[in-house]
Structure 1
Amino acid sequence: MKHIDWEDFQKVSLQVGTIVEAEVYKEAKRPAYILHVDLGEEMGIKKSSAQITSVYSPNDLIGKQVVCVTNFPPKQIGKIMSEVLVTGFPNSDGQVVLCTPDMGVPNGSKLY
């Protein structure tokens, strides 16, 4: 893996938000949810598509804080425009487990 410098890292905006709504993305080619993530006053609520249906139910997700990449350009994913990338790690089965802070922090807080 190639090393990056501090300036490269500073280009990525990683912010925390709270999932306020999670719905089954019925039109998705692979099972997915549409997540509505509250990223605080400055950014508001943004949408993201996430293939996490094998690990989480919609009810499990409401109120969960997640780390998001907020400075990718919006991306059309099927019928929705994904506005942020919700981050996660693969578990031992290769299913995505969300990246979350272990304590509550204000929505919109930046990772550093």
Structure 2
Amino acid sequence: MTIITCEEFKRVKLHSGTIVKLEEFSRAKKSVFKVWINFGPEIGVLQAQVTVHYAPKTLLGRQVVGCVNLGEKNIAGFTS
């Protein structure tokens, strides 16, 4: 486990958003869903991945908290 300092934690930007779109992601090695989350007018819609521990019908419209300043990661051609 990596421990971060309080100063590092202060730089983490957590925001709430709403899942507005999702698709199954068959190209990934693990079973996941691609999701698009609307974080409002200042941040916009960002992409992410969610594991299959959730049923797709329960995700659409769900409020989530995401870290919006982590940078991008490309997994099997999908940037999240």
TM-score range, shorter-chain basis? 0.7 to 0.9
Deviation sequence 1:68-88 (CA, Å, 0-9, x none) = 011011110111000xxxxxx
In the other structure, the counterpart of 1:9 is 9
Q: Contact conserved, 1:14 with 1:68, CA < 8 A, in 2?
A: yes
Aligned counterpart, 1:58: 56
Alpha-carbon RMSD across the aligned residues, in angstroms, is 1.5
Q: Is the partner of 1:41 in helix, strand or coil?
A: coil
Structure 1 unaligned blocks of 5 or more = 83-112
Matches within 5 A, 1:1-112: 2=3, 4-5=5-6, 7-51=7-51, 53=52, 55-82=53-80
**Which runs of structure 1 show a deviation greater than 3 angstroms over 4 or more consecutive aligned residues?**
none
TM-score by length of 1: 0.65
> After superposition, what is the alpha-carbon deviation per residue over 1:82-111, rounded to whole angstroms, capped at 9, x for unaligned?
0xxxxxxxxxxxxxxxxxxxxxxxxxxxxx
**Cα distance in structure 1, aligned partners of 2:21 and 2:71:** 22
Cα gap change, 1:3/1:24 in structure 2, threshold over 3 Å: closer, same or farther? closer
Number of residue equivalences: 79
Give unpaired runs (5+ residues) of structure 2.
Answer: none
Measure how far apart 1:60 and its partner are. Answer: 0.6
Identity of paired residues, percent? Answer: 32
Q: Which has the higher strand share?
A: 2
